Chains A and B, each alone.
Chain A
């Protein structure tokens, strides 16, 4: 893949939680500019960890991560903060600041990073809230919003600084079908209308297939498949078939590793 079209380049990435169990060992990944890229995989494959590595919240043990042309390895905190102004992130539960109203939540990055006059801040915030369909909820507090609404407000907040990269961490979890449809449509629309790059982490096969341009399937700390949604449907690999088809058992075992079942049942408890 040509370098200029990739906005995130990951090479030979290794990461282990507190030096223990390795989450990634030699991961390579290229995320193209201007596309909706989905990162999928069974629970516990480190999808959220990958997002935290891309955004510099976690530091890789080995390998390189280049975001928008800048190597994250050894980057200073101040430079990281400058880079983060070009990213927006939607957290799983929205992560709205609970002591601020919806309006102030969306205005928060503007107030912290710019000296714009109040009139302009108001216009910007209302435009973004209109884009997610919640201009009418501007004066509500986060506690008064439903899960879907919180996520839409968080989305408005994530785009208020006009980021180049928009990152979604499990945006569909616990949403009703209507809110889910709204979020799906917003992901596509914001991506195309604002010309940004979207990275969506999810394990909802069906939902993500309707919106993603490219899907990466992670398993065991590696990319096991990469392709468009139709390509993945007919991918010649058992683990991909298990994941896409939602089969209980397969290369990803149903059982957590455990000692022999009968042996454990028949064994006398030590303290019995």
Chain B
């Protein structure tokens, strides 16, 4: 009986937390039109969240693609259909690995940076100082960071997938000897716009999710060293869980 009550309480707590996050999202959306007038601020944040994550995204994309090429080749060879490697790798990357791994890396690289930056701004009174200067920190600081992340994510996922396909090709065609012509032509024949569309939808939703979690955790971090540390950890953990959960949900919807 006690267990049921505890479970119920933690469920209620989680729902309240979710409600607070959704309310925060609505505040961000409401402040977005005015924040969009400051393109300089947003492009700066696209640079921070996107360009600075490029190296890790490209490297990871290459390795994931290479592993996919290797594993895919081994598997497909058993059925004598190694020409289908291009299709398998591309579908896997565009629909799943591209958006998901990019989002996980984004949470680790850009999400933590966002959360700790905002948390430290809170801890050092920078956000209060802005309020005292009659500048809304949500509009001036939080929304540009949020939008920067939202815009950067699909771009990063696309780059990840492209590099990944190149990596699969590198291992499959250059090393394992799959015919280059059939690798590319089968891929072009079998991968449809709908697959790419699914990948784009996923990475857009992950972009909103990861950026929202990061700015929420940072903005409401306790203004202490421990509080900021916890906000950063929570950003990664919550983002990871939500990405994988939403990934399943979106995949199910698309099928």
Contact = CB atoms under 8 A, between A and B. Distances in A.
Interface of A: 55, 57, 81-82, 84-85, 87-89, 91-93, 95-98, 108-109, 112-113, 154, 157, 161
B78 to A, nearest CB: 55
Given A91-B129, A98-B121, A109-B135, 10 more contacts: A57-B132, A84-B131, A84-B133, A85-B134, A91-B132, A95-B124, A95-B129, A108-B133, A112-B140, A113-B135
A182 to B, nearest CB: 21
A84 B136 CA distance: 12
B125 interface: yes
B127 to A, nearest CB: 9
Contacts of B140: 112
B74 interface: no
A112 B125 contact: no
Contacts of A55: 132
For B125, B131, B134, B136, the residue with the greatest tally of chain A CB atoms inside 10 Å of its CB is B134
20 contacts: A55-B132, A57-B128, A57-B131, A57-B132, A84-B131, A84-B132, A84-B133, A85-B134, A87-B132, A91-B132, A93-B125, A95-B126, A97-B121, A97-B129, A98-B120, A98-B126, A108-B135, A109-B133, A109-B135, A161-B133
A8 B31 CA distance: 32
Nearest to B48: A99
Contacts of A87: 132
B125 A92 contact: yes
A81 to B, nearest CB: 4
Contacts, number: 52
Nearest to B141: A97
A113 B132 contact: no
For B124, B126, B129, the residue with the greatest tally of chain A CB atoms inside 10 Å of its CB is B129
For B121, B128, B136, B140, the residue with the greatest tally of chain A CB atoms inside 10 Å of its CB is B128
Contacts of B128: 57, 91, 95
From DSSP, what is the main secondary structure of chain B's interface residues? Answer: helix
B134 A82 contact: yes
Contacts of A88: 132
A96 B133 contact: no
A93 B126 CA distance: 10
Contacts of B124: 93, 95, 98
For A55, A57, A82, A89, the residue with the greatest tally of chain B CB atoms inside 10 Å of its CB is A89
B132 A89 contact: yes
Contacts of A81: 134, 136
Contacts of A96: 126, 129
A36 B24 CA distance: 40
Contacts of B132: 55, 57, 84, 87-89, 91
A112 B131 contact: no
Contacts of B134: 81-82, 84-85, 109, 112-113
Nearest to B117: A99
A95 B135 contact: no
A201 to B, nearest CB: 14
Contacts of A112: 133-135, 140
A49 to B, nearest CB: 13
Interface in B132-163: 132-136, 140
B44 to A, nearest CB: 9
A84 B130 CA distance: 11
Contacts of B136: 81
B47 to A, nearest CB: 13
A89 to B, nearest CB: 4
Contacts of B129: 89, 91, 95-97, 154
A49 B132 CA distance: 14
A81 B135 CA distance: 8
B126 to A, nearest CB: 5
Nearest to B135: A112
Interface string B86-113: 0000000000000000000000000000
